[in-house]
């Protein structure tokens, strides 16, 4: 009679452990995402004449424009500075998210997570 390929608890036990680890990782990821979403990120442009603040959920919460940034003859520059600052804030959110997720996954890239 052939010997069973996986003794009792062999494959099934490993599968249960993997499922438990995946569930734990999922809970940790959700906790980390919530923490990031509650954080505030700040970025500036134009040497600090434009400052924007954004949550980790990428919700813009503040835009500060110093008077010297306002030139009625060059509105386009002001618009560009605002766009630059907002994009920089979003980049900071993404970098923070990716760094924290990488720590959680041990640097392993898991498609669809981030």
Is the model more confident about 17 or about 6? 17
pLDDT of residue 111: 58
- Say which CATH class 30-105 falls into: alpha beta
pLDDT of residue 5: 56
Give domain limits for the chain. Answer: 30-105
Closest-CA residue to 100 (of 21, 23, 40, 28): 28
Closest-CA residue to 63 (of 46, 51, 49): 51
pLDDT digits (tens, 9 = 90+) for 61-108: 999 999 999 999 999 999 999 999 999 999 999 999 888 888 877 766
Question: Is the pLDDT confidence value at 113 over 90?
Answer: no
Please, what's the largest Cα pairwise distance for the chain?
91
């Amino acid at each position: 009679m052939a010997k069973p390929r996986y003794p009792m608890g062999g494959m099934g036990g490993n599968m249960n452990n993997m499922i438990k680890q995946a569930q734990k990782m999922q809970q940790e990821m959700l906790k980390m995402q919530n923490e990031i979403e509650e954080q505030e990120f700040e970025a500036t442009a134009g040497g600090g004449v434009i400052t924007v603040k954004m949550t980790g959920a990428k919700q813009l919460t503040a835009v500060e424009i110093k008077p010297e940034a306002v030139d009625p003859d060059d509105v386009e520059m002001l618009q560009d500075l605002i766009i630059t600052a907002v994009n920089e804030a979003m980049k900071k959110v993404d970098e923070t998210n990716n760094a924290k997720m990488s720590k959680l996954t041990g640097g392993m890239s898991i498609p669809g997570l981030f």
